[in-house]
Structure 1
Amino acid sequence: MPAPSALPPAAERWRIVLLEDDDTSRHFFERSIRSHAGLDLQASFSRLRDAQAWLESNPADLLLTDLSLPDGHGLELIYRLKNLQPGCEALVISVLGDEDTVLACVEAGAVGYIHKDTHSQDIGQIIADVKRGASPISPMIARKLLERLRQPAGDTPAAPEAKPAVHLTKRETDVLRLIARGYSYAEIAEMESITKHTVQMHIKNLYSKLAVHSRGAAVYQAGLMGLVAPPGQ
């Protein structure tokens, strides 16, 4: 860690919040961030809800987040970040590297996407690069995206037929909106004056109607449907 005399003024250091459920990875990232004089690790969490609660009342400059978390999907927090803190950037680091996940994160507001394929990379330096205006994407992910963009016009699949509008009941819409805002099943049950079991049944129906299999994907669809504010608004 840099000597105190080597640290720049607090106002010049980027305030970092880390969200990573794997203890080994989290400790590695913490050490890397602390080794850079221009970065200030403000808080480190293993649960999405704890990170969200902290961000609701504390300023930050960058959120470094994993996606697969014990209590939700990092995409949920990225979506809400622009409402919680419009000036805070989001940087993803995850073992997930498929095109759809990467694009969903970028569309939600992430400034970069790093594949968690090795512990040898200096995440602190990557964040410092973001501070200077970079938008880092791991080479293996960038290659996949470029291949998709370079697909010959003749090989481009025909545009899919428009999907019929998804018809949600008022209760399903309310539950989806609350999921997108990060509330737990128990909290939703209390707010809607229904049982937790009923909430779970509504969510099962939502997943079926939206053709999704996770909270993160449901939140993404909620954004497309205008049930949660798009990034930046």
Structure 2
Amino acid sequence: MPNPPPSPTSRWRVVLLEDDADIRRFFADCVRAHPDLALAGEFGLLADAQAWFRDAGQADILLTDLALPDGNALALLREVARSQPGCDVLVISVFGDEDTVLACVEAGAVGYIQKDSTPADVARTLVEIKQGASPISPMIARKLLLRMRRPADEAPAAEQGGSPGLTPREAEVLDLIARGYSYAEIARLQGITKHTVQGHIKNLYAKLAVHSRGEAVFEAGRMGLLGGR
């Protein structure tokens, strides 16, 4: 479900992890300029970010590169998913292969964007994440969908543990989630209210036994529910 908007006296806390000083400064300036965001911390090394979170640092959004000088941020994604499930993670990386993207989704990322297609308005993208969006570069989205589709001669989902029994509308909403649409956009495209969309997504989560948009897309792909859509 989308997070409620910050109160007038509070803002969503953003943590940046990026080893390139110029890129990190750009991200930090974008965050500081937005009235709904607050920069809670910025780091150039994985170890420093891990120490900050382990010392009870609280964040609503983690914006991170993947390959850091001292390690891969996947370790941090998993730690944050366990310790702060309300913290949404957006990965911005030079890597765009399917295995890397899927690994990030499995680790808890709600969005994945390649650096050569970084949105000009990073702050707006972060706010949209808290409103239910799952930003993914078009090329990355296409790769994910192609990777998730299974050949027709493979065993159907029902033979791989059973179909979750999605309704036609739930299947349509799932397809739009996988394509990166926000809840508001899904409501407009489907001609229903945002509240109704949230109800469908709640049912989807329950049927797929997941707790986030990224997990829902990954699990649906694994079960072959996105094939042919």
TM-score, structure 2 as length reference: 0.60
Q: Could you report, residue by residue, the CA deviation over 1:185-221 in whole angstroms, capped at 9, with x for unpaired residues? A: xxxxxxxxxxxxxxxxxxxxxxxxxxxxxxxxxxxxx
Corresponding residue number in structure 2 for 1:126: 125
* Alignment equivalent of 2:18, drawn from 1, 17, 20: 20
Q: Could you report, residue by residue, the CA deviation over 1:61-95 in whole angstroms, capped at 9, with x for unpaired residues? A: 11111000011101010011123323212111101
Whichever of the two has the greater Rg, that structure is: 1
Matches within 5 A, 1:56-75: 56=54, 57-75=56-74
Mapped contact 1:8–1:37 kept (Cα < 8 A): no
Mapped contact 2:88–2:130 kept (Cα < 8 A): no
| Distance across 1 between alignment mates of 2:101 and 2:14 | 22
Mapped contact 2:27–2:122 kept (Cα < 8 A): yes
Mapped contact 2:19–2:68 kept (Cα < 8 A): yes
**Structure 2 residue identity aligned to 1:77:** L
Corresponding residue number in structure 1 for 2:162: none
**Structure 2 residue identity aligned to 1:23:** A
Q: What is the percentage of aligned positions where both structures have the same residue?
A: 58
Corresponding residue number in structure 2 for 1:140: 139
SS at match of 1:117: helix
**Structure 1 residue identity aligned to 2:115:** K
Pair 1:93 & 2:128 matched: no
Pair 1:53 & 2:47 matched: no
Aligned-pair Cα RMSD in Å: 2.1
**Structure 1 residue identity aligned to 2:120:** Q
The verdict on how the C-alpha distance between 1:80 and 1:31 changes in structure 2, with shifts beyond 3 A counting, is same
- Number of positions where the alignment pairs a residue of Structure 1 with one of Structure 2: 149
Corresponding residue number in structure 2 for 1:196: none
**Structure 1 residue identity aligned to 2:91:** V
**Structure 1 residue identity aligned to 2:59:** A
| Distance across 2 between alignment mates of 1:134 and 1:106 | 14
**Structure 1 residue identity aligned to 2:77:** I
The answer for unaligned runs of 5 or more in structure 1 is 1-6, 157-233
